Structure 1
Amino acid sequence: MSTPDLLYTEAEEDLRAAVRSLLTDHCPPAAVLSRAESGRAYDGALWRALGADMGAAGLLVPDKLGGQGATAREAAVVMEELGRAVAPVPYLTSAVLAVGALLGCDTGQDAVARLLGALAEGRTVGALAVPLSTAPGAPGAPGAPGATVRADGDGALSGQVSGVAGAAGADVLLVPAAGADGYGLYAVETAETSVSVEPLTSLDLTRPLAAVTLTGAPARRLAGDDRAGAAIGRALLTGAGLLASEQLGVAEWCLTETVRHTKERHQFGRPVGSFQALKHRMAALWLELVQARATARYAADALATDSPDTPVAVAVAQAHCAQVAVHAAEECVQLHGGIGMTWEHPAHLYLKRAKSDEIALGTPGRHRQTLAGLVDLAAPTG
C-alpha cells in the first residue's frame, strides 16, 4: 500500500488562492456578522460566485456528468477556506452531502444524472434530509440512518425530519424513506405546497437548521433498497471526512487572529503576546493544529484514493479535529480579552461554528467509539 501524500499540490494551492481571494472580497468578517444578525440563511451572491462561476459546486462530480472531475483533496481545500471565513454557503450540504448521495445511486439513470448536473452547475441547491448530527454508520439500513419518512404506494412521502442543515436554502431535498418497496432515496422539490421547511433556532447562524415536514409530497425514487443505504452511508462518511478540513480552517483563523491581536495589544509597555504564559498557550495550540492538519489531510487523501483505510482515517480526523477547533476558538475568545466577548468581534462566530461542527456528523466520542470497533479495540467497562 502506497504512503499517503499529505502535502498540498501546486493545483491545490492555486485553488486555495482563488477561493481565499474570492472570500476576502465577498465574505469579510463584517459582512458575515451583518448577515448573521439579520437572520438571512445564505449569501446567494457568494454561492453563485463560488459554486457556479468558480465551479466549486461540481468538484466531486465527474466531468462526463457536468462537473469538474476533481477529488476529495480539492474539496478539502475549499472546505478549509470556507472554515477560515465561516462562509454562509451550502457547500457541505449541497456540494458534498447531496452530491455524495447521488454519486452512490445509478448515475446512468436520467433523473440522477440531471440532478447531479444541476447541482454541479450551482444553479440548483440540494440537501440530504437527515439530521446534521447523524454519524456515518448510524442504525438503519446498511450504512445509512433509519427513515422517519414513509413512502406510500404512489411514491408520495409523508413524515418529518428535524435538524436538517441546508434545507432552508435548498431547491431539492434527498429524502431517505421506507415503504412497501423497502428503504429508498427520493428527490423532493421544496417548491411543492406539501413540503414545509421550518427554520429552527440554531447555535451556528451561518449554517442554519430546519425541520422538514412532508404531507403526501410527490417524489422521484432515485435508489432502492439495494443502493440507497450504501449511497447515504458513503455521503455521510465523505461529509465527516471533509468536515475535518473545515474544522482545520476554523482553528487556523483563530490561531492566526489571536497571534495578530496579541502582537498589537500592549500592556505594561509591551505586547501581551510576549508574556511567557500566553506564548506557551499559543505554541501548544499550534502543535494541536499541526496534528489536526495531518489527520484532516489523511482523511481527504483516503477519500480521494478510495483507500480501504477510509473509515479509520475519517474517525481519527473527526475525533481530533473537532476538539482542536473548539479549543482554538475558545482560546481566541479568551485571549482577545473584553473585545473577544462582544458581538462586534467575529470570534463568537468561529466558536459557534466550532461547537456546531463538533456535534455535526457524529461527536468526537461517537467517532472514537467507531474507531475502537474498526481496529478491534475493546472499550473500557465498569
Structure 2
Amino acid sequence: MLKELSPKAETLREKLLSFMDDYVYPNEATVEKYLKDAENRWTIPPIINELKEKAKKQGLWNLFLDHPEYGAGLSNYDYSHLCEIMGRSLIAPELFNCNAPDTGNMEVFVKYGTEEQKKQWLEPLLDGKIRSCFSMTEPAVASSDATNIQSSIVRDGDEYVVNAKKWWTTGAMDPRCKIAIVMGKTDPNAAKDQQQSMILVPFDTPGIEIIRPLTVFGYDDAPQGHAEVHYNNVRVPASNILLGEGRGFEIAQGRLGPGRIHHCMRAIGAAERALELLCKRADSREAFGSSLAEKDVIKEIIAESRIEIEQARLLTLHATHKIDIEGAKSARKEIAMIKVAVPRVAQNVIDRAIQVFGGAGLTEDFPLAAHYANARALRLVDGPDQVHIRDVGRLELSEQLKGSLNK
C-alpha cells in the first residue's frame, strides 16, 4: 500500500505541476532554438536563468536534499514524486537546481566535505551560481568495475598531483563548471577497496585539458555536455582530498544510492510523458478508415505501457521507502533492481510512442528521440545492467540460502 505524501511534499507537488505547465513545456522550444545557433551552442540560454529565478522565488529549489539546513528536508519517498514530474522534460531538473551531477556532488559536500569546502563549493552550488562535474569513468579500462580505475593521485608535500584520462564527465563542457570531483588511486598497494580516493580539482587549475565533447546517439546535450577530460600533472592542495585517502568507494556508495533513485524517477516521468503523447497522437491520426486509437494493436501497446510504468513506479517507491526506513546500504538489492527495470521500461514505452508517431517520432520536432537516447544511456550510467543483475542475484541467493539454513 502506498504512503501518502507529506503535506509539505503535496504542496510542492502542486506548485511544481503548475510551474511545468506555465513555464517549462512552453519554453522547451525556446531553449532548443537558442542552442541551434552555432555561436550559442556552449552558452547558457537566457531563459534558463530567468526560469531558475522564478523557481527559486516559488520555493521550488534544492528539493532533492533531505538536509533541512541546505534543502527542502523531504524524505526520499516524498522527493521521488517530485523528481518524476521533473523527468518529463530534459530542461526541467536544472531549473529547480536538481540536476545531475550537481545533486550528487552537493550530497558529497554535505556528507563528507569540510567546513571550508562547503563554504567554497557547496554554497555557490546550492545557490545555482556555478556547476560541477564528476570524473570517474576512464576510456582505457572497464570502469563498470571501479577497482580498474588507474588515474593517479600522488602526495607531494603539501599538494597532490593528479594524472588522469577521464571521459563521460558530464557537465565539463558547461562554461559555469568550476569544480571537479576526481576519483583515482592514492595507494595501488592497499587493499583493493582502499586504493581509490576522491579529490577536489578546481576546473581552472593548470593542466586540465578538455579533449572533446562526447555525443549520445548524436546528441551533445549542450550546453552541459559530456567530455573527455585529461588531468596532466594537475596540482591541488592536500586539503582538497575528500574524507581521507582510501575512502573513494565509501564516498561513491554514499553518492550513488540516492542518485540512482533520482535517475529512475526521472525516467518514469519521461515514460509517462511518452505515453501521454502516444495517446494524443493516436487519437488525432487516421489510417485505413479509422483513428489509430481505435486499432486494437494501439490499445494493446497503451495497456502494456501503463502496466509497465505502474510496476516500475511501485518498485522504485518501495526502494525509496526502504532507504528512508533502513538506509541505502540495506536497500542495495532494491536499488539495483530499479536500476535495471526502470530504464528498460522507459526505453520500451518511448519506443512504442516513436512507433505510433512514425517518422515524426525520430525528429527533433517532438521530445521522444532525445528521451529515448537518454533512457538508453541510463542503462549504462552508474553501472551497466549486467553489474546490477549480478548484484541482485548474489544478494537474493544469499538471502534464500540463509533462510534455508535457519529452517
Q: What letter is aligned with 1:277?
A: V
After the TM superposition, which residues 93-108 of structure 1 pair with which residues of structure 2 at under 5 Å, given as runs? 93-105=100-112, 107-108=113-114
Q: Is the 8 A contact 1:149 1:158 kept in 2?
A: yes
Q: Is the 8 A contact 1:244 1:322 kept in 2?
A: yes
Q: What letter is aligned with 1:176?
A: M
Q: C-alpha displacement at 1:180, in angstroms?
A: 5.6
Structure 2 unaligned blocks of 5 or more: 189-194, 400-407
After the TM superposition, which residues 14-33 of structure 1 pair with which residues of structure 2 at under 5 Å, given as runs? 14-24=11-21, 25-28=23-26, 29-33=28-32
Q: Is the 8 A contact 2:213 2:220 kept in 1?
A: no
Q: C-alpha displacement at 1:171, in angstroms?
A: 1.7
Q: Is the 8 A contact 1:127 1:172 kept in 2?
A: yes
Q: Which stretch shifts more, 179-188 or 271-280? A: 179-188
Are residues 98 and 167 of structure 1, via their aligned partners in 2, closer, same or farther at CA, if it must alter by over 3 Å?
Answer: same
Are residues 23 and 108 of structure 1, via their aligned partners in 2, closer, same or farther at CA, if it must alter by over 3 Å?
Answer: same
Q: C-alpha displacement at 1:62, in angstroms?
A: 2.3
Structure showing greater relative contact order (alpha-carbon pairs closer than 8 Å, 6 or more residues apart): 1
Q: Secondary structure at the match of 1:375?
A: helix
User: Number of paired residues?
Assistant: 369
Aligned to 1:160: 165
Give a deviation string over 1:179-200, Cα, whole Å, max 9, x none.
Answer: 3696322111112342223322
Q: In 2, distance between residues paired with 1:114 and 1:70?
A: 25
Selected match of 1:199 from 213, 234, 237: 213
Q: What letter is aligned with 2:67?
A: P
Query: In the alignment, does 2:253 pair up with 1:233?
Result: yes
Q: In 1, distance between residues paired with 2:220 and 2:355?
A: 21
Q: Secondary structure at the match of 1:222?
A: coil
Q: What letter is aligned with 1:130?
A: M
Q: In 1, distance between residues paired with 2:233 and 2:326?
A: 38
Q: Which stretch shifts more, 365-374 or 215-224? A: 215-224
Q: C-alpha displacement at 1:278, in angstroms?
A: 0.8
Tell me the TM-score normalized by structure 1: 0.84
Consecutive aligned runs of 4 or more in structure 1 exceeding 6 Å deviation: 132-137
Aligned to 2:8: 11
Q: In 2, distance between residues paired with 1:15 and 1:314?
A: 25
Q: Is the 8 A contact 2:106 2:125 kept in 1?
A: yes
Q: C-alpha root-mean-square deviation of aligned residues, in Å?
A: 3.2
Aligned to 1:324: 345
Q: Is the 8 A contact 1:132 1:360 kept in 2?
A: no
Structure 1 unaligned blocks of 5 or more: none
Aligned to 2:291: 271
Q: In 2, distance between residues paired with 1:236 and 1:326?
A: 22
Q: Which stretch shifts more, 50-59 or 117-126? A: 50-59
Q: Which stretch shifts more, 360-369 or 47-56? A: 47-56
Aligned to 1:187: 200
After the TM superposition, which residues 63-74 of structure 1 pair with which residues of structure 2 at under 5 Å, given as runs? 63-64=68-69, 66-74=70-78
Aligned to 1:246: 266
Give a deviation string over 1:15-56, Cα, whole Å, max 9, x none.
Answer: 233334334414544235435645447655267348755453
Aligned to 1:210: 227
Give a deviation string over 1:120-153, Cα, whole Å, max 9, x none.
Answer: 222232222123999999442xxxx735243341
Q: Secondary structure at the match of 2:136?
A: coil
Q: In 2, distance between residues paired with 1:50 and 1:376?
A: 50
Q: In 2, distance between residues paired with 1:114 and 1:62?
A: 19
Q: In 1, distance between residues paired with 2:201 and 2:55?
A: 22
Aligned to 1:309: 330
Q: In 2, distance between residues paired with 1:301 and 1:172?
A: 32
Q: What letter is aligned with 1:334?
A: Q
Give a deviation string over 1:278-324, Cα, whole Å, max 9, x none.
Answer: 10111011000100111121222233334353111111111110100
Q: Secondary structure at the match of 1:79?
A: helix
Q: What letter is aligned with 2:274?
A: C
Q: What letter is aligned with 1:160?
A: K
